[in-house]
Structure 1
Amino acid sequence: MSDVLKSLQAKSKSADTNGKEAKPSAVEGFKTESNFLLGPIPEELVDGTDKFGKASIQLLKHHGTYQQDNRDERGKNGKKYSFMVRTAIPGGKLNSDQLMAELDLCDEVGDSTVRITTRQGLQLHGVPKGDLKKVIAKINEVQLTTIAACGDVERNVMCSPAPYKGDPVYDQMQEMADRLASHLRPRTPAYYELWLKDESSGEKSLVGGGLDGDDVIEPLYGPTYLPRKFKTAIGLPGDNSADIYSNDLGLMAIAEDWHIIGYNVLVGGSFGTTPSAAKTFPAIAMPMCFISPTQVLDVATAIIKVQRDFGNRSDRKVARMKYLIRNWGLERFKEKVEEYYGAELHPPRPIHINGHNDGMGWHAQGDGKFFYGLNVENGRIKDEGSYKLKTALREIAKALNPSLRLTPHQSIIFCDLAESAEATLKEILRRNGVPLTEETSAIRRWSMACPALPTCGLAITESERRLPSMIDDLEEQLSQLGLADERFTFRMTGCPNGCARPYNSDIGLVGKTVGKYTLFLGGRVEGDRMNFIYKDLVPDEDVVDELVRVFRYFRDDRESEQESFGDFCHRIGKEGLLEKCDTSQ
């Protein structure tokens, strides 16, 4: 039996509220019996049906795909299944050929759209089961991967994406994101076996030996991987575009003389919650220690191992690392990380987030070249009516062949451009009906929504399909109030899972029940503060009116032009806002 498995069996026992040893969840059983994520997937992949069984559905997430049911297309024959395939792209860095490959796939086997995710990856939707192998193989063919884009492992490592070549700190951060992604990626041969191996080659299976084999196939994760998903992001005090406080592990780069001297390590961020379960909650990460760049990989490994061995494996609602830290306290958690790391860790530096650079617009890179950040509403790349972003991207790739960055706000940056390319780039976008970033309102530029209906199985309300029209109404109202240029984050999700990070934004809308949302206020653009519930169960048709009343109060009573909308709401508080803005009182 491997040392990792012995460690898991010895340490990861969960207890219920009566102190009795709790039974592992069904998902833990699927992972344990899967032989390192292979499970029954090979047989079910070719069984002639359009779906997978319960075990395979959970295991497939680790390979980068979710089984989904399009609720708009349900008919007399019941559910219509298809698959979302997610590509993990550390720091959002890719080239034009890679993006074109994804666009080709969305037309050939998907729903004709590609979506930039809130974690700087790409998603294809509507992929039939019979095309999964073709899709994943093609993504790997262009030197991208789907492994660990989902599942109980380290997810896509995020990083501030702006390509400032004149500031070496950005290159150093982005290099660290690549190193972390490679170091923390699962090693299971099952991924190759399922999606990349030539079946006609007669090649021997690479997965074997079972759990008691002499070889430790997964030296970090072990045979049962993590209790739940794990997310990591890297940012700067002046650029928290990667939203490091919302991650299990956040690394705040601290620089002196244009060089990163170390990182403040933040732990325990996570936004998923279940309103019906009081034991669940969203949380922002807390500063734990300061480490040098040479310590990052080993400290990150130690943190993940502590979560692996002590995170809750019986109740997935409370299996994220934030619950372990809340149960233990930060000091005890740090001591256990130090034990695993093998040395004492220094206290965090007294440095705080003070900015968020979304990278939008035309900028000099600092190396004689330029970049342009294009706002992509809710990350959806599509051709629809006169709006032809997909066509525009194909033309830009052919004419300019730029390197690319995907942003944590679901937008795209065209990099390494000659100064003369600006006119060509903007002409292509305008000709295809794509609004330029400088033609986009502040509220639309700083908004974000999750996909929600019709394909997300957790969605209760609309999100991506509703937010644009809601912003149409708000744009007009804010213009009348003289607040059209006000910068604030506005994020919307179709359920409380919080995929679009609504709980630290200036305004958060979270689907609560059909047609109704919980309205949150008081976060801020910098992302280091939780917002609060202003009103619950707000009908869809009342959301804009509720917000306009608060904006009017903000315009009339803000302390100065420098006070942001989120800071104003935080200062006034829920009761003060209700007293002035709630017409029902």
Structure 2
Amino acid sequence: MIDRSSDLSQPVDALNESEQLKARSRYLRGGIAEGLQDPLTGAVPGDDPLLMKFHGIYQQDDRDRRADRRRRHLEPIYQFMVRMRIPGGVLDKHQWWGIAELSRRYAERGIRITTRQTVQLHGVRKPHLRALMQGLRDIGLDTIAACGDDSRGVVCGTNPFLSRAHQRVAELARITSDRLIPKTGAYPEIWYRESAPATHSEEPVYGELYLPRKFKVGYAIPPVNDIDVYGQDLGLIAVIDNGELQGFNVCVGGGMGQLDSREDSYPRLAEEIGFIDAEDAPAFSETVMTIQRDFGDRKDRHRARFKYTLDRLGLDWFLDELAHRRGRDLEPARPRRFEHNGDRLGWQQGDDGLWHATLYIESGRLDDALRGQISGLLEQYGGRLRMTTNQNLQLTHIETHELEQLQWRLEDLGLAWRLTPDTQAAHTLSCVALPTCGLAMAEAERYTPRLLDVFQRLKGQYGLADVPITLRLTGCPNGCARPYLGEIALTGRAPGLYNLYLGGSFHGDRLARLYAGNVNEERFLELLAPLLERFAEERDHGEHFGDFLVRRGLLDDTPVALTSF
């Protein structure tokens, strides 16, 4: 008989410190409001920055200037990253203009499109936080649950060729997001100054402890796996027949983050477990999330993700518990096929006759010039926008009669090249990393242009310049840019040093393997050169680099042992 005792039955003081903090936070209130009013520091003191993550806000400081400030006995230059909740990445042009204006006023480090299909504003000072949050409210956006131990922003694949089905999937993604966000009155109370009494029923789904760790939900639309569905805690793969959405194949237990210092920490692929009807998806998502709420590890925070719950209790246990809560078993999974996990850049026409233009945005970073160019473009364009999980920007719902004028406008603004960028750039992702991310141990976003240059030159030596290879770069072992699904990935270990992973699938359905530890740029190129040479000479027609490495057994030996610092 299945054991349905959970960590929620444990006394709070037996759980880890984060759980205890949530329990005494009064549903995420803590002392945030008081900390915002403290004029003596640019920070929010104590443990409240941990609670602010549930509100979509990260407290950071400029690490480039940290040592100098310490020498001068000055406080670090505290600033905040504010991440919005934008289910499926969909905005209208008025919301974009609002974001652009708010970023000009309050975000010293500008706008960034993230790998979870939303927008981050970087470099916001504490005195401006409340005004920014109210400005987002005024354009119909919020930041609740963009971070924290809750359901993170729900992502949705961008497949414009199946526009009618995509519209329905995107709507289900929005409904799912609205259903899974915390309901605490702390959010409007702190940021909008709207009083809401704290009550025991304030969080009917989450309760006072919320989740053990973050929980990521994603909707994929084959044949494109742009969201890397096998890296999600819960992935829903659309099954479409003759343009109509039938339902979803379900996969569970994916997760990218790991700690290099622990052998029991690892990335994991989600497992496909069955099929559900389309209308069931939001409620089903809540059911799966609440199983993780009840049985996730609340004592060892590093083992608290859903993937570890499944490995600890077993998939059969989970399927039994799922059937018990739903009152029925899953249907068998249905056939589906993925071709790649990148974006289709350039022009595409959907089955509804409307056009879409996907623009390449390097590392998702929109500087002042690019922000202004896109805002100017929208002055004459009546469609909508969608961010992608590959950090690009898609102009959607374009009528045929608008195409010629829009193309001229793209050329006038210097944006036309973004429809057809360098092949390798279009298949490269990086995280923010230094100078603001507190977890970063090495450069990522700022190193990406240099890495792309040297990698493209190396590929060119073997006639592979136009061959796409998924390349992922992160400043630490966490999975913000989904590195462990790349054909090639570098994860930061120390300034200038990375762990090298190889052999992920171009389709996003196989994990890369650790190939070498603590490599610098010179060693990275030295290790890749003979593999690329053999790939150029020996690959099968249409074979991708990761598949070639696995087929030929070139990853069976690790050239350099992983060493710790």
TM interval, short-chain normalised: over 0.9
The residue number in structure 2 matching 1:27 is 18
The residue number in structure 1 matching 2:141 is 144
One-letter amino acid of the counterpart of residue 250, structure 2: V
User: How much does 1:88 deviate?
Assistant: 1.2
In structure 2, list runs of 5 or more residues that go unmatched: none
Deviations 1:291-310 (A, max 9, x none): 11232222212111111011
Give, in whole Å, the separation in 2 of the partners of 1:465 and 1:14: 46
Do the aligned residues in 1 keep the contact of 2:234 with 2:254 (CA within 8 Å)?
A: yes
Q: 1:255/1:439 Cα in 2 relative to 1: closer, same or farther (>3 Å)?
A: closer
User: How much does 1:53 deviate?
Assistant: 2.6
The residue number in structure 1 matching 2:122 is 125
The residue number in structure 2 matching 1:403 is 384
Give, in whole Å, the separation in 1 of the partners of 2:542 and 2:501: 22
The residue number in structure 2 matching 1:47 is 38
3-state DSSP of counterpart to 2:378: helix
The residue number in structure 1 matching 2:77 is 80
> Could you tell me which of 58, 62, 78 is aligned with 1:66?
58
Deviations 1:25-58 (A, max 9, x none): 1111111111111111111111112111332111
Give, in whole Å, the separation in 2 of the partners of 1:492 and 1:33: 38
Q: 1:523/1:426 Cα in 2 relative to 1: closer, same or farther (>3 Å)?
A: same
Do the aligned residues in 1 keep the contact of 2:110 with 2:123 (CA within 8 Å)?
A: no
Alignment partner of 1:564 is 2:544: yes
Q: What's the TM-score once normalised by structure 2's chain length?
A: 0.93
The residue number in structure 2 matching 1:3 is none
One-letter amino acid of the counterpart of residue 138, structure 1: G
The residue number in structure 2 matching 1:281 is 266
The residue number in structure 1 matching 2:173 is 177
Alignment partner of 1:325 is 2:310: yes
Give, in whole Å, the separation in 2 of the partners of 1:91 and 1:13: 32
The residue number in structure 2 matching 1:207 is 197
Alignment partner of 1:436 is 2:417: yes
Q: 1:320/1:229 Cα in 2 relative to 1: closer, same or farther (>3 Å)?
A: same
Where do residues 88-237 of structure 1 align in structure 2 (5 Å cutoff)?
A: 88-164=85-161, 167-197=163-193, 205-209=195-199, 213=200, 216-237=201-222
User: How much does 1:132 deviate?
Assistant: 0.6
User: How much does 1:434 deviate?
Assistant: 4.2
Give, in whole Å, the separation in 2 of the partners of 1:345 and 1:237: 21
Q: 1:169/1:552 Cα in 2 relative to 1: closer, same or farther (>3 Å)?
A: same
User: How much does 1:534 deviate?
Assistant: 1.3
Deviations 1:552-583 (A, max 9, x none): 1110111x12111110112223456778x99x
Deviates more, 1:498-507 or 1:412-421: 412-421
User: How much does 1:435 deviate?
Assistant: 6.0
The residue number in structure 1 matching 2:469 is 488
In structure 1, list runs of 5 or more residues that go unmatched: 1-8, 199-204
Give, in whole Å, the separation in 1 of the partners of 2:416 and 2:454: 18
Do the aligned residues in 2 keep the contact of 1:264 with 1:349 (CA within 8 Å)?
A: yes
User: How much does 1:424 deviate?
Assistant: 4.3
Q: 1:533/1:128 Cα in 2 relative to 1: closer, same or farther (>3 Å)?
A: same
Do the aligned residues in 2 keep the contact of 1:92 with 1:161 (CA within 8 Å)?
A: no
One-letter amino acid of the counterpart of residue 537, structure 1: N
Deviations 1:147-199 (A, max 9, x none): 111111111111112344x642212211111111111111111111111236x
The residue number in structure 2 matching 1:543 is 524
User: How much does 1:484 deviate?
Assistant: 1.6
3-state DSSP of counterpart to 1:54: coil
3-state DSSP of counterpart to 1:442: coil
3-state DSSP of counterpart to 1:98: helix
3-state DSSP of counterpart to 2:202: coil
Question: How many residues are aligned here?
Answer: 552
User: How much does 1:337 deviate?
Assistant: 1.7
The residue number in structure 2 matching 1:456 is 437
One-letter amino acid of the counterpart of residue 73, structure 1: R
Do the aligned residues in 1 keep the contact of 2:499 with 2:519 (CA within 8 Å)?
A: yes
Alignment partner of 1:365 is 2:346: no
Give, in whole Å, the separation in 2 of the partners of 1:317 and 1:483: 40
> Could you tell me which of 311, 314, 334 is aligned with 2:299?
314
Give, in whole Å, the separation in 2 of the partners of 1:61 and 1:448: 24
One-letter amino acid of the counterpart of residue 31, structure 2: P
